[in-house]
Structure 1
Amino acid sequence: MSSSNLRQPDPAYKDRNGFREHSALLDKDHPDDVTLRNHRFAQYILTQKGHYLPSPDALRELGATKSQPVETIDSINEKIKDLQEQHVRDLENLFAFQAAEYRQEMRDHQACYDDSAYMDIDASYPDQVAFRDALEDLEKEMRQMGRFKRDMDDGLSMLRYTHLKTLTQLNAKRNALRIRESQARKDRDAQFPQTIEEYHQITDRDVELRVARFLTSTATEQEKMMDEFGWPYRYVQPLLTIYKSNVGPLSAIRLFMTISEQLGTFSGGIQR
C-alpha cells in the first residue's frame, strides 16, 4: 500500500498522541454514532482481553509471597517476542470482529422493507420529496459505509497505539540494561591486579587470561592492550614490576599461558 493511500494525521491533533479529544464528535449530525462505536468496541475488548480480577485480599497475599523477578536482556527479549505474537493474534481477532459487524449491518439493511418503490412521489408535496431524498441519502450512506470505515480505523489505531506504547517501554528498558552491562564490562575490563595475591583471587577466567597475556607480551603489545582496556600505566606497573623482577613466584602465570595457548584459547587473538 502506497503512503498516499494511508490515512494521514490531522495537524489539529499534533502533540495529542494522534487521537482526537474525547469530546470531539466525528459526525455532528449523528452524535450517537460515537457512543455506539465506543460501546461496541468496549464490549469487544472485555470479551477478548478481559480477565478475572482477584479480590483485594488475594492481591495482597500475592504481593507478599511472590517477589518480582529480576529483568535481564534475555527476559525482555522474550517479553517483546510474546508481545509481538500477541499483537498479531489481537489484529486477527479485531479484523474478524469488524468483518462480522460489517456483515451483520449489511444484512440488517437488506432486511429493511423499502416501500418507496410503491409510492407515487408528488413533487408538489415537500414532505414526500424530503422522504424520498432521505431514503436515497440512506442508501448512499450504506453503500459508502463512511461511519463504519472510521470505526474500523479508530479501532485499529487504538490497538496499535496500545501495542506500540508497551513495546516502546520494553525497548527503553532493554536499552538501559545494555548500557548498564556495557559499562559494567568496561569497568571489569579496566580492573588490573596490583599484587600476585590479587591475581590469584581473580574469579573471571577471561580476566585472568587477559592479565597473564599482558604480563607475557612484548612492550608494544602491552601498550596496545593498555589502550584497548583502559589500563593506566600506574595500574599495571606494580604487578609488571613484580613479574619482571621475581619470575619465580609468578612462574604459574607462564605455565597458565602455555597451557591456554596450547588449548587454543588465544587462537583468535586477545580474548575478552
Structure 2
Amino acid sequence: MENRVLRGPNPAYTNKNGFIQGFTEREQVDNIQRAVDNHRAAMLVFHYRKREIPDFETMKAQAEETNLLTTAKENLEALRKDHIEDLDRLYRFHTYEYQQEIQDRRRVVDDNYLADADPSIKSLVEKLVTGPHKDADAEARWQNDYENLRYSHLKQVVHMEKRIQDLERQQEIEKKLREQMFPQDVADFKKKTQEIQQRVARFLVANDAEKERYLNAFNWAYRQTAPLQELYKQDERFKSDILAIIVSGQATDPRRNATR
C-alpha cells in the first residue's frame, strides 16, 4: 500500500474558514455548503442508487413464502449482489463528478490574467489546478460516500445473518422434535433414524408395564402410538420387519437396555 504523508494545516489559520469542506468544523458549514451537499446526496440517490419496485404479485408471493430460511438466504445473496451494483454505480458517479470538477477547475483559470501575472501567482494557480492536494476535497467526499454505503450494507448483512442463524436453530429444534415423535405409519417409521426405529420396535414388542415406561421416558402420548400398534397386530409383514429390527439391534449391541 502506498505510504502518504499528510501535512497538517498551518496554525496561522486556526479558527478560520481556511480549510477544505471535508475538514471544517460543523459550526463553520454555512447554509450554501449544506445545500450543495444535500443536492449532491440527492443526485447520487436519484441517479445511481434507484431501485425497481417489485410488482404486486412478486410482493404477494414473498409475503406468502413459507420456507423462511430459504427466503432469508436468498435475500442475503440478493443484498450482496445489490451492494456490488451499488458500488459500481457509486464509482461511475464519482467518475462523472470528477470529470465535471476538472472542467470547472479549468474554466475558473483566467489565462489572460495569468499571462501578465507574477510568476509566484502563476506557480500558486498551477499548484491549485495540478498540485498533489488538488483532489483532497474530492477524495474525502468519495471516501465518505464509500464508508456510508459500506456501513449501511454491513448493518443489513449482520441483521440478515442473525435472522438466518435464528431460523437454522429453530429448524434444528423442530427437526429433532419431529424425529423423536412416535411414527404414525410405516412410511413415517422408515424415515426415522436407526436409533428411533430400534426404540419404536422395542416399544411395540414390550408388555404394558414396559410400554408405560417408554411413554414416560420419551414423552409419547398413548393415542399417538395407537395407529402403529394396531398395524403391528394386523400386518404380518410389518410385524416381521419389527422383529428383524429387534434381532438386529440385539446382535449389534446386547448391552442396550429396555428403555433406550
Matched length: 204
Correspondence 1:89 to 2:85: yes
Cα distance in 2, alignment partners of residues 254 and 201 from structure 1: 11
Aligned match for 1:155, one of 118, 125, 145: 145
What is residue 206 of structure 1 aligned with on the other side?
191
Structure 2 length-normalised TM = 0.58
The CA distance in 1 between the partners of 2:100 and 2:188, in whole Å, is 69
Contact 1:25 1:34 in 2 (8 A): no
Give secondary structure in 1 for the equivalent of 2:79: helix
Indicate conservation of the 8 Å contact 1:72/1:177, yes or no: yes
Per the alignment, residue 160 of structure 2 pairs with 170
Unaligned runs of 5+ in 2: 5-20, 203-214, 246-260
Alignment match, 2:103: 107
Is residue 73–residue 174 contact of structure 1 (8 Å, CA) maintained in 2?
Answer: yes
Distance 1:79 1:73, change over 3 A: same
CA distance in 2, matches of 1:146, 1:159: 20
Show CA shifts across 1:57-77 (max 9, x none): xx9xx69x9472235211111
1:16-31 → structure 2 map (5 Å cutoff): 26-28=23-25, 31=30
SS of the counterpart of 1:192? coil
1:146 shift after superposition: 1.3
TM-score w.r.t. length of structure 1: 0.56
Shift of residue 213 of structure 1?
A: 3.4
Tell me how far 1:151 sits from its aligned partner.
0.5
Aligned to 2:177: 187
Identity of aligned residues (%): 17
Q: What do the CA deviations read for 1:92-146 (whole angstroms, capped 9, x no partner)? A: 111111012112211222233242341248xxxxxxx9x7897477447784311
Q: CA RMSD in A?
A: 4.6
**Deviation (angstroms), 1:206:** 1.4
In the other structure, the counterpart of 1:228 is none
Task: Flag the 1:33–1:46 CA change in 2: closer, same or farther, 3 A.
Answer: same
Tell me the distance in 1 between the aligned counterparts of 2:187 and 2:239: 16
Say if 1:80 and 1:170, in contact at 8 Å, map to a contact too: yes
Contact 2:69 2:164 in 1 (8 A): yes
Matched, 1:119 2:117: yes
1:181: Cα distance to partner? 0.7
Q: Which runs of 5+ in 1 are unaligned?
A: 6-23, 54-58, 122-128, 194-198, 218-230, 261-272
Counterpart secondary structure, 1:144: coil
Classify the secondary structure of the residue corresponding to 1:157.
helix
The letter for the 2-side match of 1:49 is R
The DSSP-based 3-state class of the residue aligned with 1:119 is coil
Aligned residues of 2:114 and 2:122 also touching (Cα < 8 A): yes
Hey, what does 1:39 align to over in structure 2?
39
Residue 269 of structure 1 is matched in structure 2 by none
Farther off after superposition, 106-115 or 24-33: 24-33
